[in-house]
């Protein structure tokens, strides 16, 4: 039970990671919130930094949900935990810390 709660919290924290901001920092420090549409998503990364940076952002955002689900499948005890982890990762993406 405690393991499941820790995995849910970890899924939220993984979802909170902003790959758009991380990639922008790696590509020279452009502040995406002040460039293009002001969004930190992959589309604005493409507009601001190019296709490669946008693709890396898209893959990173998808991977954080995949990692949350794989962790829940591997170490979770509840059968619904992978689905819960996926939903919580999405919530972390939409409402980051």
Identify the DSSP state of 37.
Answer: T
Mapped onto helix, strand or coil, the DSSP state of residue 50 is coil
Residue found under tokens 């296709």: 51
Q: What is the pLDDT of residues 22-77, one digit of tens each?
A: 999 998 877 888 888 888 899 999 999 999 999 999 999 999 999 999 999 999 88
Q: What is the pTM of this model?
A: 0.87
- Report the pLDDT value the prediction gives residue 57, as an integer from 0 to 100: 95
Which residue shows structure tokens 């409402």? 95
Q: Give yes or no for residue 82 having a pLDDT over 90.
A: yes
**Own/partner pairs for 67-72, CB < 8 Å, 24+ apart?**
67/14, 68/7, 68/10, 68/11, 68/14, 68/15, 71/7, 71/10, 71/11, 72/7, 72/11
């Amino acid at each position: 039970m405690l393991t499941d709660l820790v995995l849910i919290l970890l899924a939220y924290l993984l979802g909170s990671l902003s790959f758009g901001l991380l990639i922008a920092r790696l590509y020279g420090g452009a502040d995406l919130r002040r460039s293009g549409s002001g969004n930190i998503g992959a589309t604005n990364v493409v507009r601001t930094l190019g296709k490669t940076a946008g693709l890396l952002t898209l893959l990173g955002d998808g991977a954080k949900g995949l990692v949350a689900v794989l962790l829940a499948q591997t170490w979770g005890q509840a059968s619904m935990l992978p689905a819960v982890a996926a939903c919580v990762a999405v919530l972390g993406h939409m409402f980051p810390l």
